[in-house]
């Protein structure tokens, strides 16, 4: 099967500094809100730091802030599922895995990676 294609090829992602929507790095104006842009390759998501802090304490919530709804909901549901599994010993591993996954997603958003 094919892998998900990035909208702009291998070019680093750029986000609107006003509304946070992903832009073509060559854009000078956001098509959604009309604000002029100063995109530089590798510019991170405008809410990247907030997402990182939220994912450190509440895995999945910061991912939702980044607009990755499917991934964020999955992280939250797996975190909730891990709670009763702590009693059989595998909840810790699931919690740790979800936490690492969430923090990595948020950290990648700081540098403009998907």
pLDDT in tens, 58-107: 999 999 998 899 999 999 999 999 999 999 989 999 999 999 999 999 98
Measured distance CA(87)–CA(7) in Å, rounded: 43
Helices assigned H by DSSP within the chain: 48-57, 61-65, 69-85, 91-110
Burial of 13 (C-beta count, 10 Å sphere; 0-12/13-18/19+) = buried
Residue located via tokens 């891990």: 82
Domain boundaries, the chain: 1-43, 48-110
pLDDT score, position 108: 86
């Amino acid at each position: 099967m094919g892998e998900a294609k990035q909208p702009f090829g291998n070019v680093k992602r750029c986000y609107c500094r006003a509304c946070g929507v992903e832009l073509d790095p060559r854009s000078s104006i956001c098509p959604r809100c009309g604000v002029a842009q100063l995109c530089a390759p590798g510019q991170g998501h405008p809410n990247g730091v907030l997402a990182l802090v939220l994912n450190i304490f509440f895995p999945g919530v910061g991912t939702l802030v980044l607009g990755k709804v499917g991934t964020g909901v999955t992280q939250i549901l797996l975190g909730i599922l891990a709670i009763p599994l702590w009693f059989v010993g595998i909840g810790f591993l699931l919690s740790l895995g979800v936490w690492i996954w969430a923090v990595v997603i948020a950290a990648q958003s700081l540098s403009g990676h998907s």
